[in-house]
Every structure is written in C-alpha cells, then in structure tokens.
Amino acid sequence: MQARSLRVTRVASLYLLQASMFEFIRKHLTVVMIIFFPLVIFAFVFVGVDTSFLTQRSPVVARVAGQDITQADWDFAHRQWADRNRNIPVQQLDSPTARYGTLERMVRDQVINAAIRDRHYLVSDAQLARELQNQPEIAALRGADGRLDIEAYRALLAQSGLSPESYEANVRYQLATQQVLGVVQEASLTTPRLARNAAGSVFQRRDVQLAHLQPADYADKVEVTPAALQDYYQAHLALFQQPEQVDVEYVVLDLDSIMPSIQISEDELRQYYESNKGGYARAPEQRRASHILINSDASMSESEREAARAKAESLLAQVRENPARFAELARAESEDPGTRDNGGDLGFMGRGEMVSAFDDAVFNMSKGAISNLVATEYGFHIIELTDIKPADIPSFEEVHERLEQDVKRNLANTQFIEAADQLRNLAHEQPDSLEPLAGALGLQIQSAKAVERDNAASAPEALRNPAVLDALFSSRATQEKLNIDAVDTGSSQVVTARVSEFHPARQQSFEEVQPQVEAQFRAQESAKLAQADGEAKLKAWQASPDDAQLAESVTVSRVNPQGLDETSLRQVMATPTDALPQFLGFVQFDGSYLIVKVTAIAPLENPDMPAQEQARLTSAYEQQIAQMQAVAELEAYYEVLKQQYKVQIRVPNPIGG
C-alpha cells in the first residue's frame, strides 16, 4: 500500500433513519397489498376497467440497448432542463433545437450507463471520498477535528436543489463515466508536427477591412404611416400577446428575520466555547505516526490472509519486546514501498485523512505507544505514534464575536425549523387567507402585480423559484384562490402565497402596444434599408475598389473573429488565396450589413513579435489542437458505443444530420 493511498476521507455518514423508514415501508407494503388487492379486483368486476388505460402508451422516440425512451420521458426531462435554465429566453428554451439537445443528452446517458453496467465499472467509497475531498467547497466544511459538518454539507447542496444522496450518486456516475472514456482520453496523442500543421489551418489569419452599416443610421429614413403600422401589427399578432398574469400576496419566512430576536448571555456563550472550542482552532491537532504494513486484500485466499496475519503478529511481538527496533523492522519487513525506506514514517496527519480504522487508532493513542494489529482494506498495520502537534485554539475573547454569531444562528435555525413547520400547517389548514399565519408568526404580507409564469424577472426575488411560479399558475391558485403549499426557495427560506387576481392571456389591442409596434416596424424597415444600401455599395466597390470607404485593416482568425459572426467568418477564412483582394457582403444577425474586403493572408505568427512570445503562442496553439483532437476522438468513440448499443433516434434532427 502506498502511504498516500491511506489519505482518504470518510464518506458522509450513512442516513440510518432514512434506510429504516424505507425498510418499514417495504415490509408493510406487502401487508397493504394483501389487504387491498381483493378490494381492487372487486372494484374492477363491478365498475369495469378502462382498457385504454392498459393499452395506451407514450410513443417511443429513441431506443438504446433495447431500452425505450418515450415521448413522456423526453417531455419530463426537457421540463427539468428548462427549469434549471430559466435565465435563457423562453423561445429558446422550447425551441426544436433545444428539445432535440435534451433527447441527445438522454441517449448519451443511456449509452454510458449501458457501458458502465456491461463492463462492471464500480466506484468504491474510497474513490468517492477522495473525489469529495478534492472539492474545495466540501473540504472547507471539515472542522478542526477533520470531521465533515454534515448539516453544513446538506445546506451547501440544498442551495443547488440537491441532497447528499443525489449529489454523491452523480459524482459516482461521473467517476464511472471517466472509466468508460478514460481509455480513449489516455490514448489520445498529438505529435508536435501534427499539431503544428493543424495549427496552421485552425489558427490561420486574414487581413481585412470592414464597413459596417447599422440599421440605426437609417431609422430617420423610414416612412412611418398609420396604415403601415396597422399592417405590421396584423401580420405579427403573436408578438403582441399578453401572457397569463397573476397579482399575488405572499409571505416570506427566512433565517435572517429571526436572528435579531435571539438573545444569548455571556455565561451561555462561554459554556458553548468550552464545549466546542476545538471547532475554532486556527490549526487542527496533527499526529505523526510510523507503520509496518503486511499486505492483505480481498483477492487473497483465506489461508493467505491467515499467513499475512501470522506474520504481522510475529512482527508485533518483536516490536513490543524492543520498541527501539520499530524503524529497523519497518525497513526490513514492511510491504509499503512508500514508507519502508523511511522506517515506516508517515509524517504528520490530521484527523480524517486516513481510512477509518487507521485514523481511529492513531487518534486514540498516546505519544510513544505501539498499537495492536489494525486491519484495513490494505492489510495489517502495526502503528507507532511518534509525535503530537496540539491544536492551536484561540482564546474566548479572540473568537467572541464569531461565537455569538454561531450560537445565535444555531438557535435561530431551531426556531426557523419550528416556524417553517407552523407556516406549512397554517397555509394548508386555513387556505383562504394568509392573514392567520402572518399574524401567528409575525410576518408581513407582501404583494406583487402582473407576475408571469415564464418570466421570472416579472416577480420579486422570493417568488422566482420555478416551483413557486408553477404553483401560482395552478388551478388551485388561479381558480380557487387558495394558498399554495409552502416552498423551500433556498437556504433557510420558505415562501407561501395566494393569487388575489388572475389575468388570462389575451391579445393586446393596437392602441396598447402602438409604441412597441412602431419601434419594431422602424427596426425592420431600417434593416431593409441598411441591407439595400450595403448591397449597392458592395456592387459598386467590386467594380471600382478605389472608391471603397473602409475602416483601417484588422486581422481576423477563428480565435479572434473581431466581431464577425460564425457564418461571415467561415466565408472570409475560405476565400481562395489566388482571388485576393476580394469584397464580400453579409447580413448580420442584428439586421446590420457588413462589407468585408479580404486583402491578404496574415502569417500565423506576427513577424514583429518577440521570439519568446511566438514560442508561447505556438505552444498554446498546439495544446488547443491536442484538446480538439482528444474531443474528436471521444466523439468518435461515442459513435462506436452508439453502434454497439444499437441506438435508434426516431425523431428528425431539426438542424439536419
């Protein structure tokens, strides 16, 4: 065993209560089924069965390794994706391209899962623990004693809507995915010569001059008449529809509102300090240990493991007889190559850095002591504790302010949990009004008008949670005007609300939206004028290049497009070298018109650039090429996996292919 391999963190504590609840439900579910199954049959006999319920099935949109992905699966996954990306405009969220992207991700996950399952890739608790320890946000949650603050861990994940179980399952999946794809990633090789040649293509540059005709420069030339605006409005009615809106009353319960009411005495504060001062250490306690390891693992037979144990017990007896020989015996007999030459010395370590059994032994020994045999997944250890560095703990006065905040927050957390339960109960038990719960909890009823389901910015911050918005537009809220169920909207915040007024979607009249109609009409017509003028100038300058009115020359490349959109840049870079100089014209995505004069091919490297800077850029180019090749090889390998698992996607790709 390598010494470094010992340094793993423990996985977050098992949630025993949750497991026992699941076991209880599992056992009693059988009883429930036995009791109610005859009643179900009785109901079917006398009431009848809707056969459509048994026969109707959501259409299959894809198949992977014999497993179907249905339209319902796809719709559900896309709604989840859309809820996580509310910052994206609604039109893009539900576009055919976005929906197809969700399906492709589902297929990819199914393919990777099939490969993980077929190849029996497993992620051990130790691997998971190492990965979590490498994440700074989680590592920072360890106290002075090295133990993970489980409540802080839960709170951190809750901010992203995750539980420890779901997050750790996702980390395991990512690690298993790395095992599937790791073969290709590690085998990917790009030679310097290949990278250099590819860089010449990918990072080639063009010297160009630009003329950019902006629609705003033509706005004053647009003829705006009442008839033209009416025609535009009638042709674009969909742009002027007001979506469903609700006027809302709501209350917010959060931790910060409770904190000011918490009072704590100095005696209580000092008592808390004495019980928890280890958690305020500037540096945690560290211990230095040496060990002798005799390897033993699950792959060994029982007789081999017994032989290893016997050898370890013999060595332990020799150490106990003469502790001064510990280093000598470690150099001669230890099977840990990482520490053997140093007499078994592991150096200083903090609590939680070792596997559980080893860690417990080290931190329960006195200086100079020799342990009994300690069995871990790596084998049998004999441990000598050689030194102790006590924790550096500040005085009560030094941490007084932090103590006060911590104690108040702990007490506020307790009160918040109780108040949140009361809020949930009152919102449900007295659903016709928010006043009873606001009065009972001392909360202020706030209001918001014209809140839209698909426009979070139309709502106050507390109402922007997708679950809150969905509840506000349910029939319970809009038609029955009942309180929505309380929603946890973030770290230590709970919201409930009710709709005071519902405004159905409607077509806005021309009079209501006339300013927007005019602005959009003017923008459309300005773009047309800019394009017409641009095309005329392009034709004239192609015939008479000396008359061209262009900006100073700039150098464009795929790495630095200088504002050119992808389509324009692709054509500029594809311009034949024997046709230069050449004029090109492009309509831009913002309605502007761009005239480009491609004058020359610029060298890959600037001749005036210092040699050291050129070498740095060349190295950067080659690294990017290597990364591109690795990505391409991964995609090619994924295509092989798709064929292996007989992937079928039964809906057309909206962008072709």
- For 118-145, the pLDDT digits (tens) are 877 777 776 777 787 778 787 777 765 5
pLDDT band at 181 (very low <50, low <70, confident <90, very high): confident
8 A C-beta contact, residue 184 and residue 638:
no
Radius of gyration of the chain (CA): 35
Residues 6+ away with beta carbon under 8 Å from 586 = 565, 567, 568, 571, 593, 594, 596
| Residue 13 pLDDT greater than 80, yes or no | no
Tell me which range, 128-132, 338-342, 480-484, is most confidently predicted by mean pLDDT: 480-484
Distances (CA, A) of 297 to 3, 130, 405: 16, 20, 48
C-alpha to C-alpha distance for 209 and 187, rounded to whole angstroms: 44
| Residue 6 pLDDT greater than 50, yes or no | no
Residue 483 DSSP one-character state: P
Q: What is the predicted pLDDT for the residue at 222? A: 93
Residue type, 616: R
Three-class secondary structure of residue 554 per DSSP: strand
Q: What is the predicted pLDDT for the residue at 145? A: 58
Residue type, 46: F
Overall pTM > 0.85 = no
The pair phi, psi for residue 289, each rounded to 5°, is: -140, 155
| Residue 198 pLDDT greater than 70, yes or no | no
pLDDT band at 603 (very low <50, low <70, confident <90, very high): low
Distances (CA, A) of 408 to 79, 156, 276, 400: 40, 19, 15, 12
Is the Cα dihedral 447, 449, 453, 454 positive or negative? negative
Strands (E), 262-392: 286-295, 345-350, 374-376, 379-389
Mean pLDDT of 218-234: 93
| Residue 605 pLDDT greater than 70, yes or no | no
Residue type, 25: I
Question: Which pair of structure tokens corresponds to residue 275?
Answer: 């019980």
User: Which CATH code for domain 285-389?
Assistant: 3.10.50.40
Q: What is the predicted pLDDT for the residue at 277? A: 82
Considering the chain, what percentage of its residues have pLDDT values greater than 90? Answer: 34
C-alpha to C-alpha distance for 412 and 425, rounded to whole angstroms: 20
Residue type, 632: A
The pair phi, psi for residue 314, each rounded to 5°, is: -65, -45
C-alpha to C-alpha distance for 632 and 621, rounded to whole angstroms: 16
The pair phi, psi for residue 86, each rounded to 5°, is: -65, -15
Place of tokens 């800019």: 530
Query: Beta-carbon neighbour count of residue 557 at 10 Å?
Result: 17
Distances (CA, A) of 605 to 59, 581, 597: 55, 21, 21
